[in-house]
């Protein structure tokens, strides 16, 4: 065998040309200053944000001193029955161990034949003598290894930095090619800020505080269970089975172990009545049972005329009557979009909780009640002469 293949014989090597390397252009910084302004910074209008008013109501406890006089249906209908405790029917017998020795052998003792075990062959290697003299520790790698001198590593010289003399060009492709189209500024869809409220001070009372009447509630009465009293009578544990049962002396059941059979030493014949009497029959394959067609196929051309086409009489359908209501309201009159809510609504001035920042809102801390609610008072100028203003009312904190 010469060792040549069809690939080696038919393959024609091609000359490989190195790929041309693209030289990187020299970096030239652009001149000028970068404008870091954005449309958001130019068009954004800052707004003053106030503290959020908490709408959590004050916590109140609804208690009542009224006593609940109710009797459950279980106490009303339940009647206690007097029951007698039955006596135990257990016969007290003291255990007496047998004096004679148990002499009946077990099935394992009768059928077990002891066998002498054969110990397995040991796989332990024979004792070998250790070599005399000290261990030299020489290996093939140490004796046959030839050490070679390493050449010094190539260190590339560091190039000295030379700054560029050309100015930095900071003009991008977007700044150069983009031309802003002149247009009108978009109109704001924000509604005009109209003041909906009143300048009257908040009185601090609500409809719930005026109409609510607190009720005192007492703690529920604890039901003490009755003390258990054990019965004094003896329990009768006799049953009809224990009273009417008659004991019979029954002998122990004999073992149903088969008698040991004789073992045959001859070869196994392997013949049965089925093998000797059974003869295979040669059955030919059954043919297809196809019935003759009772109805003969038509030979003429299909007329393609159905009973529906022959008996159908077309009728002209009348269009249904329109139930659309007649326009009662004229379309030329403008629609009045006024409602009772819009005409009768009185806007209220939102109140700010003085507990969040009392100094900024103009409140002074007064005291705290027994339930932990803090009360504040609005700062007012000192009264002068007859035009003295009344003392401002105390306002509770929302939270």
- Answer left, alpha or beta for residue 92, where phi above 0 means left and psi between -120 and 50 means alpha: beta
Beta strands in the chain (DSSP E): 87-88, 236-237, 363-368, 374-378, 394-396
Q: Could you give the angle at the alpha carbon of 343 between the alpha carbons of 341 and 344, nearest 5°?
A: 70
SS3 188: coil
- Token pair in block for residue 192: 């005009």
Strands of 363-368's sheet, edge to edge? 363-368, 374-378, 394-396
- Cβ–Cβ under 8 Å, residues 350 and 335: no
Instruction: Give the pLDDT score at 297.
Output: 78
The β-bridge relationship of strands 363-368 and 374-378 is antiparallel
- d(CA 83, CA 88) in angstroms, rounded, equals 16
Residue 203 has pLDDT above 80, yes or no: no
Instruction: Give the pLDDT score at 360.
Output: 66
Half-sphere exposure of 109 (CA within 13 A, CB side): 4
SS3 241: helix
Instruction: Give the pLDDT score at 313.
Output: 86
Q: How confident is the model at residue 44 (pLDDT cuts 50, 70, 90)?
A: confident
Half-sphere exposure of 224 (CA within 13 A, CB side): 1
Q: How confident is the model at residue 368 (pLDDT cuts 50, 70, 90)?
A: confident
C-alpha distances in Å from residue 153, one per residue of 129, 147, 150, 357: 52, 18, 9, 73
Contacts of 89 (CB under 8 A, 6+ apart): 236, 237, 238, 239, 242
Residue 244 has pLDDT above 70, yes or no: yes
Instruction: Give the pLDDT score at 68.
Output: 67
C-alpha distances in Å from residue 136, one per residue of 53, 130, 144, 145, 337: 92, 14, 16, 17, 113
Residue 389 has pLDDT above 70, yes or no: no
State the SS3 of 56-118.
CCCCCCCCCCECCCCCCHHHHHCCCCCCCCCEECCCCCCCCCCCCCCCCCCHHHHHCCCCCCC
Half-sphere exposure of 279 (CA within 13 A, CB side): 2
Residue 390 has pLDDT above 60, yes or no: no
Higher-confidence residue: 335 or 160?
160
Q: How confident is the model at residue 261 (pLDDT cuts 50, 70, 90)?
A: low
Residue 64 has pLDDT above 50, yes or no: yes
Instruction: Give the pLDDT score at 380.
Output: 62
CA-based nearest residue to 31, from 171, 162, 160, 153 = 171
β partners of residue 217: 66
Instruction: Give the pLDDT score at 46.
Output: 82
SS3 174: helix
CA-based nearest residue to 379, from 360, 357, 364, 395 = 364
For the segment 340-363, the average pLDDT, to the nearest whole number, is 77
Instruction: Give the pLDDT score at 164.
Output: 86
- Cβ–Cβ under 8 Å, residues 376 and 354: yes
């Amino acid at each position: 065998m010469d060792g040549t293949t069809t690939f080696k014989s038919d393959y024609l090597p091609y000359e490989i040309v190195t790929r041309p390397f693209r030289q990187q252009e020299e970096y030239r910084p652009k001149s000028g200053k970068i404008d870091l302004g954005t449309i958001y910074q130019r068009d954004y209008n800052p707004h003053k944000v106030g503290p959020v008013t908490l709408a959590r109501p004050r916590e109140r406890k609804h208690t009542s001193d009224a006593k609940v006089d109710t009797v459950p249906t279980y106490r009303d209908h339940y009647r206690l029955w007097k029951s007698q405790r039955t006596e135990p029917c257990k016969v007290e017998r003291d255990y007496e161990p047998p004096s004679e020795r148990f002499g009946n052998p077990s099935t394992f003792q009768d059928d077990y034949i002891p066998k002498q075990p054969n110990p397995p062959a040991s796989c332990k290697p024979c004792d070998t003598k250790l070599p005399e003299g000290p261990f030299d520790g020489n290996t093939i790698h140490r004796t046959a290894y030839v050490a070679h001198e390493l050449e010094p590593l190539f260190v590339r010289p560091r190039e000295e930095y030379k700054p560029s003399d050309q100015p930095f060009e900071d003009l991008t492709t977007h700044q150069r090619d983009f031309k802003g189209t002149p247009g009108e500024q978009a109109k704001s869809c924000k509604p005009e800020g109209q003041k909906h409220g009143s300048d009257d001070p908040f009185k601090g009372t609500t409809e719930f505080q005026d109409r609510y009447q607190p009720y005192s509630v007492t703690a529920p009465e604890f039901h003490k269970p009755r003390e258990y009293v054990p019965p004094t009578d003896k329990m009768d544990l006799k049953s009809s089975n224990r009273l009417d049962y008659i004991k019979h002396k029954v002998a122990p059941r004999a073992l149903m172990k088969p008698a040991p059979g004789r073992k045959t030493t001859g070869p196994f014949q392997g013949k049965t009545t089925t093998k000797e009497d059974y003869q295979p029959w040669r059955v030919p394959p059954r043919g297809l049972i196809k019935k003759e067609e009772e109805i003969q196929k038509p030979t003429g051309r299909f007329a393609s005329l159905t009973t529906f086409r022959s008996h159908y009489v077309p009728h002209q359908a009348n269009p249904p009557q329109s139930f659309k209501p007649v326009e009662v309201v004229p379309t030329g009159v403008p629609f009045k979009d006024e409602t009772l809510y819009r005409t009768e609504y009185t806007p209220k001035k939102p109140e700010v909780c003085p507990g969040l920042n009392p100094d900024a809102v103009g409140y002074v801390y007064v005291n705290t009640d027994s339930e932990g609610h803090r009360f504040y008072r609005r700062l007012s100028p000192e009264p002068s002469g007859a035009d003295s203003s009344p003392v401002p009312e105390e306002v509770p904190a929302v939270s």
